[in-house]
Structure 1
Amino acid sequence: MKDEAKQRIRESFDAQSMMATLGAQLTGIATGEVIITAPVLPGSRQQQGYGHAGLTFSIGDSAAGYAALTTIPENMEVLTAEMKINLLAPAGGDFLRATGRVIKPGRRLVVVAADVHAVTGDEDVLIAVLQGTMVPVPR
């Protein structure tokens, strides 16, 4: 993947105020795959102290969307058309890691998925899987 394409994704990610609010960071970019991590901050917890499902969904959706962006022309962006999530376990950990990937690239639709793990030290627990569709749109 070209450095210019990676830079375009970094600049787009940096422009997302939601990701900044959540403390999320872009930690990996490759063709068809993007990794986003986010700490489980006091402001993103639910009533039992776990990371809120909104945090899990937000970083999973963004990781999948940026994975889609790695496969489309430079003059395009993507919007989420639909996204399904299965929450598998509570988001108990120091941080969450979402790995988004492209299942099927396309000009009109890009089918994507993401796995979200809760990480504490050496412990790494799969807490959610997402699958959805991204729609390429002009920049």
Structure 2
Amino acid sequence: MTDAEARIRASFARQSMMQTLGAELGEVGEGRVTITAPILPGALQQHGAGHAGLTFSIGDSAAGYAALTTLPQSAEVMTVEMKINLMSPATGDRLVAEGRVIRAGRRITVVAADVWAETDGTRKHIAMLQGTMIAV
């Protein structure tokens, strides 16, 4: 495990929101991060699908950590803005957010994430996010 990956895993472990959602940090690579989360009964909206807040939370975090992989060890990131397109209900066993860097700058990094709903190994693309992270 690289120092950068260890730093990201330690940071993720400190996020109580991700713990509340049952989220787990998956792959960490240069400019790419995957986060998964079960669709728990406490994260449903009124129609029985996963709440958009769950989708947004793991997509935003995956994109933010992807940005962090491109920054110096002393840096952190925060979201400046994030847009989400919800394309399909979040139904299934779990969500998978794949964050990636579109363009890394010294201060501002443009990021994106795709979120998939999985059931029995079958994936459905449910959301796309695009945003900007700032190094702090």
TM over 0.5: yes
Find the aligned partners of 1:61 and 1:39 in 2 and give their Cα distance: 16
Report the 3-state secondary structure (helix = DSSP H, G, I; strand = E; otherwise coil) of the residue aligned with 1:80.
strand
Show the counterpart of 2:25. 26
Could you give the per-residue CA deviations for residues 23-66 of structure 1, whole angstroms, max 9, x where no partner exists? 00001100000000000000000011100000000000000000
Identity of aligned residues (%): 64
Show the counterpart of 2:50. 51
Report the 3-state secondary structure (helix = DSSP H, G, I; strand = E; otherwise coil) of the residue aligned with 2:132.
strand
TM-score (structure 1 length as normaliser): 0.97
Question: For structure 2, which runs of at least 5 residues remain unmatched after alignment?
Answer: none
Count matched residues: 136
Show the counterpart of 1:101. 100
Question: For structure 1, which runs of at least 5 residues remain unmatched after alignment?
Answer: none
Report the 3-state secondary structure (helix = DSSP H, G, I; strand = E; otherwise coil) of the residue aligned with 1:56.
helix
| Aligned-residue CA RMSD (Å) | 0.7
| 1:109-128 correspondence to structure 2 within 5 Å | 109-128=108-127
Q: Give 1:122 shift.
A: 2.6
Q: Does 1:72 align with 2:71?
A: yes
Amino acid corresponding to residue 29 of structure 1 in structure 2: V
TM-score (structure 2 length as normaliser): 0.99
Find the aligned partners of 2:122 and 2:107 in 1 and give their Cα distance: 39
Find the aligned partners of 1:135 and 1:100 in 2 and give their Cα distance: 16
